[in-house]
Amino acid sequence: MTTAFTLDRKQRAWCAELRALAADTLRPLADEGAPGRVNRPLVAALGRHGLLSRVAPADGPVSAMDLCLLRESLAQECTEAETALALQGLGTHPLLRWGTARQRARWLPGIAAGRVVTAFALSEPDAGSDAAALRLRADPDPAPGGGWRLTGEKCWISNAPEADLYTVFARTGPAPGASGITAFLVPADRPGLGGSPLEMLSPHPVGTLVFDGVPVGPDDVVGEVGGGFAVALGTLDLFRPSVGAFAVGMARAALRAAVDHAGERRAFGGPLKDLQAVSHQLAEMATRTEAAALLVLAAAASYDAGEPGVARRSAMAKLFATETAQYVVDAAVQIHGARALRRGHLLEHLYREVRAPRIYEGATEVQRAIIAKELYR
């Protein structure tokens, strides 16, 4: 069993470079973007600085460890940059791992350069945590060519409706549940495809997609016909630990802010840090954050080593890290008091950002169900 207890010197130096890049270069671009919209200059900068090539490499698989270090480091300084990178990776991974050589040659260069924005279109209005319940239909197309027509709706799709390329999961067979689901690459300019943005608590680009007989053909299939659910689960196994890394990055930023504030803010005759209630709270926040970080690194190392039990480790990493980040950010707000609730404060921003990771890519309750199931496998 491979367990990563620490990072080597090269990894630590890379993380420091990423944090500096996020603070000095990416943060200004994020601040110029419109809330709830795809920030194309930011995505282009991620490509220009070589970060997207880490999630869309042309010559090999994605490293789970690199992905986690990227997401944690960027999240500490610029959550918008972290999210933009993660969404590119999530939308691209089915193509990268299961796509044909022709599909990869067409799309990967533009994705890695930050010219093509991607999206992972799995969730539906009635199929969120229970993704196998999706209803988007892929009906056989009577026109020559042996294709399908997609009819239905997707919801809670990051980067929708502004993405250039969607990985869409639809039901090609009559069987219920996971059977009969196929993954398709659907360019945004396909006739019959529409959508609208959604206003969310955290201003990420999220929206709906409406499919009104959207044509797709055999060349658009990712993987095998009927094998789409395995594509979805395989993608989530990689990205769930990195959601935990995103959460750890936010927890570290909140902890750093709380430590600084408690050392400077004076109350009751001395700095807040001298109050046992505050110092013990900081100690608990630091310990939980470190534990979450180690669980994420262990899951990433296990994935990269090809060890068994990836689904269980991925679920544990996401579960513990996202719940920990919620606790740490909330505690940091409490230590700061009312000032942390002002619009524009770092902790006000993190307080809105930290809630969603406990839901997307499998809610906390889903992660517990996966872990429990894996215990008896």
Which of 99-103, 140-144, 213-217, 305-309 shows the lowest per-residue confidence on average (mean pLDDT)? 140-144
Predicted confidence (pLDDT) per residue in 320-353, tens digit: 999 999 999 999 999 999 999 999 999 999 999 9
pLDDT-derived band at 1 (thresholds 50, 70, 90) equals very low
pLDDT band at 5 (very low <50, low <70, confident <90, very high): low
pLDDT of residue 48: 97
Model confidence at 137: pLDDT above 80: yes
Mean pLDDT of 97-110: 96
User: What mean pLDDT is reported for the chain?
Assistant: 93
pLDDT value of position 214: 97
Structure tokens at 240: 């769930």
- Of the candidates 72, 77, 80, 361, the residue annotated as catalytic is 361
Q: Catalytic residue at 361? A: yes
What confidence tens digit (pLDDT) does each residue in 139-164 have? 998 877 779 999 999 999 999 999 99
- Predicted TM-score (pTM) of the model is 0.93
Q: What is the mean pLDDT of residues 240-244?
A: 94
Domains of the chain (ranges; CATH) run 9-117 (1.10.540.10), 119-225 (2.40.110.10), 230-375 (1.20.140.10)
